[in-house]
Amino acid sequence: MNIVSISTLKQQTTRLINRLASQKEPIVIAQRSKPKAVLVDHKYFTALEEAVVDLTDAREAEKARGEPRVLLSDYIRKRWSKKRA
């Protein structure tokens, strides 16, 4: 894993971004020798975002399996009858 300081990032931004694009390996940005951020390729970041959404959807689907089921027709009848009253 590549680790660079914030000052190196400031001085060599273009070179580091080009390296990131060609090597496809994340670059850890350190401040006072402690990791503060990670610079990643755009495709990798997009894939991570999609994976998080998929995982969240899967958890919500699993949670919904335990909830009681309601027929759509019953839901509509109940919902619309409340608005008329």
CA nearest neighbour of 6 among 34, 25, 26? 34
32: pLDDT confidence band, cut at 50, 70 and 90?
very high
Contact call for residues 33 and 4 (beta carbons, < 8 A): no
Q: What is the pLDDT of residue 5?
A: 95
- Kindly report which listed range (17-21, 30-34, 52-56) carries the lowest average pLDDT score: 52-56
Report, at the CATH architecture level, how domain 2-84 is classified: 3-Layer(aba) Sandwich (3.40)
Output the pTM of the full model: 0.61
Identify the residue with better confidence: 49 or 59: 49
